[in-house]
Structure 1
Amino acid sequence: MPEHLHPSLYQASTTATTRILGWDAVSSSIGIAQTVYPATRPNTVLLARPEYYPEVLAAARLMHHPYAAALLYTATEGLEEAVSRELIRLSPRGQVLTAQVIVIGAVHARTLHDLADLGFSIWHLMGHDLWDTVERIADLEVGAESGNALLVSVDPLAGGTVAGGYAAHTGTPILFASEQGLYPSTVRWLKKHPRTRMFVAAPETYLPARISSDIRAHGSKVEAWIGGHDAFDMSVRFAKFRHKSRFGWGRRERSAAPVTLVPIEQWAIGVAASALSVRGKSMPLLLTEREGMEPSVEDFLRGLRARLEGEGAQAHGFIVGGLEVVSYAVQMRMHRALTEGELDLDF
């Protein structure tokens, strides 16, 4: 039976899960902005098209100080009415910066005209191609200078989306590689930033093993490769990872801090959810399919519950996207994993 049923039959949230509604990238990004900025104003708003994975994921670091940005998407030739309303509601301050809205990459000219008509100051952050834009974003001064960088696969199904949450939380640059090796933009960036401590976040099947030696050849070092047998497993390992340099979430520790569950198929929604990692409660992102939760993710959530038993606290999770994006069955699995198991439903 399809899940397009009366809303009263499927509640958006439970005592252990909060669902941020949205049926696509545009509507979900608005829902996230309204959740993260219900009564305060961001410094700026990132506006991007939900089509260009490297640009959008790289821009997640601009959610960190000093940009302190919200992220909205536009998918038509001009601004959708709902996006225009949300921009007006957010009314970004534009303090310190030269613009209230940072437009990422290529957009239709009408979009820029619509922004100007609304009275917003604009910075169009765009290079001569997609990869030049990625490199320019990585070059911006964001957060404290740490000497770290993240390397992910250019394939969204490799799970690099979860790196967006950590980049938003810390300002860490995100760089890209493929099964053929480092992208030229990554090589250029490494030449400008020698002695970078690189953290690879990708299953080993998506990137060649020689990546480590290639990075050494450019004067930097792979500090750790956070891999796994698939993207879901990698998202769990990333949430658990903590380096001696204090890089990483370290969610293996006893903590009531929540996590966020995002769809792997709709990566743009996951990147927008990175705002919950910086403006929320430092939440790592975990990946799920629409209809099913991988055992590695479910076991990790169950482990969070186990560490809180007897302490008077309950773990909590956010789910981003409506039932069209993440099913009710997945939400019930998350709820059951995070609670005492009071539900006895066969999902």
Structure 2
Amino acid sequence: MSDRYHPTLYQASTTATTRILGWDSVSCAVGITQTVYPAARPNAVLLASPTCYPEVLAATRLMHHPYDAALLFTEGDGLEDTVSRELIRLSPRGNGLPGQVIVIGVMPARTLHDLADLGFKLWHVIGHDLWETIEFLNELEIGKKSGNALLVSSDPCAGGTVAGGYAAHTGAPILFASEQGLYPSTVRWLKKHPRTRVFVASPEAWLPARIAGEIKALGSKVEAWVGGADAYDMSVRFAKFRHKSRFGWGKRERSSSPVTLVPMEPWPVGTAASALSYRGKYTPLLLTKRDVLTTPVEDFLRGLHAREQTQGQQGHGFIVGGFELVSYPVQMRMHRALTEGGLDF
């Protein structure tokens, strides 16, 4: 029996969950822009390939003021018709910016010609390699100067996607490391910005503990390491985290904002969903498997139900992706956790 759910039999949304439909990275990004910008125009549109995780994740900070950018993906040798139509619908204003469409990283020449044919003014952000592109993105003046930066693993399986939501929310730069330590681009950025408060968002198993010492030697400090048993657990801990400097979502008893559930794979869906962390609902991102709502995430949602009920309100969550990316049973577990305290399904 097929596990695909016919829309007339299974509704995309419930009273506690709103599903933003899409079957891949490109269509999910369009679904998000149509949800976040149904009538208003963004100041810019970020256009990227859904293939380079660090580059795209670093660009999420441009969703914050003054760039106020939406994010769309394109893949292949030219601009897809659906993306062209969405760009025309969005008609980014480009106020105070070098371009209306900000192209991130390497892009086929035909795609650039297609954008020019549509009449958009382009700003191509590209360095000699992806790390130079990231350095440029992190140097842009965005939001209030807070002295904070996020540091994540360059492997999307470590769950650093959730940092994109907070970067969109605050404009904080995102730095990268791997099992071998800090990337040279991260070292160069920290040398330029001493006394930075660095917040690590990664399960401890994905990054070496010595990076705290490396950061200290560069004149900055790891203020907190938000870790966990795995990426799903870390996404919950990151949603809960709040530092004395007011860094973090602090999604606890006195917080009534909803949450957004995104699939771990494909990772571009989560980066596009960062728009929900800045405009409208200001939601932290939680990670899920396609067919399993992990115990830390479900327990967290169940706790939100208990707290919201005391205020006479029902919890709410967004789900990004069609049934192929986040299954119907996962949605039902989320709905029940938010409305009934997570009864068995």
TM class by smaller structure: over 0.9
Give the TM-score normalised by the residue count of structure 1: 0.98
Partners of 1:62 and 1:69 within 8 A in 2:
yes
1:136 aligns with 2:136: yes
1:43 aligns with 2:43: yes
Partner of 1:29: 29
Partner of 2:339: 339
Paired residue type of 1:273: A
**3-state SS, counterpart of residue 39 of structure 2:** coil
* C-alpha separation in 2, matches of 1:133 and 1:259: 30
The offset of 1:333, in angstroms, is 0.5
The offset of 1:10, in angstroms, is 1.0
* C-alpha separation in 2, matches of 1:308 and 1:279: 22
* C-alpha separation in 2, matches of 1:310 and 1:54: 41
**3-state SS, counterpart of residue 9 of structure 1:** coil
Partners of 1:56 and 1:271 within 8 A in 2:
yes
Alpha-carbon RMSD: 1.0
Paired residue type of 2:32: I
Partner of 2:100: 100
Paired residue type of 1:126: I
1:233 aligns with 2:240: no
Partners of 1:264 and 1:288 within 8 A in 2:
yes
Q: Deviations over 1:71-104 (max 9, x none)?
A: 0000111100000000000000000111000000
1:264 aligns with 2:264: yes
Q: Deviations over 1:9-36 (max 9, x none)?
A: 1100000000000000000000000000
The offset of 1:256, in angstroms, is 2.2
Q: How many residues align?
A: 345
Mapping of residues 145-294 of structure 1, within 5 Å? 145-294=145-294
Q: Deviations over 1:156-215 (max 9, x none)?
A: 010000000000000000000000000000001001111100000000000000010000
Partners of 1:255 and 1:307 within 8 A in 2:
no
Partners of 1:257 and 1:281 within 8 A in 2:
yes
Mapping of residues 6-85 of structure 1, within 5 Å? 6-85=6-85
Partners of 1:227 and 1:237 within 8 A in 2:
yes
Partners of 2:93 and 2:100 within 8 A in 1:
yes
* C-alpha separation in 2, matches of 1:83 and 1:296: 36
Q: Deviations over 1:278-331 (max 9, x none)?
A: 012110000000010110000000000100224221110000000010000100
The offset of 1:345, in angstroms, is 6.6
* C-alpha separation in 2, matches of 1:307 and 1:327: 26
* C-alpha separation in 1, matches of 2:280 and 2:322: 20
Partners of 2:5 and 2:328 within 8 A in 1:
no
**3-state SS, counterpart of residue 7 of structure 1:** coil
Partners of 2:160 and 2:202 within 8 A in 1:
yes
Paired residue type of 2:13: S
Partners of 2:169 and 2:282 within 8 A in 1:
yes
* C-alpha separation in 2, matches of 1:125 and 1:171: 17
Paired residue type of 2:111: T
Q: Deviations over 1:233-288 (max 9, x none)?
A: 10000000000000000001333210000000111000000000001211000000
* C-alpha separation in 2, matches of 1:190 and 1:6: 51
Paired residue type of 2:264: I
Paired residue type of 1:57: L
- Between the aligned residues of both structures, percent identity stands at 74
Structure 2 segments unaligned to the other structure (5+ residues): none
* C-alpha separation in 2, matches of 1:21 and 1:317: 14
Partner of 2:116: 116
* C-alpha separation in 1, matches of 2:344 and 2:13: 17
Paired residue type of 1:58: A
Structure 1 segments unaligned to the other structure (5+ residues): none
Partners of 2:236 and 2:286 within 8 A in 1:
yes
* C-alpha separation in 1, matches of 2:5 and 2:242: 43
Partner of 1:328: 328
Partners of 2:25 and 2:266 within 8 A in 1:
yes
**3-state SS, counterpart of residue 312 of structure 2:** coil
Q: Deviations over 1:34-77 (max 9, x none)?
A: 00000000000000000000000000000000000000000111
* C-alpha separation in 1, matches of 2:316 and 2:226: 25
Give the TM-score normalised by the residue count of structure 2: 0.98
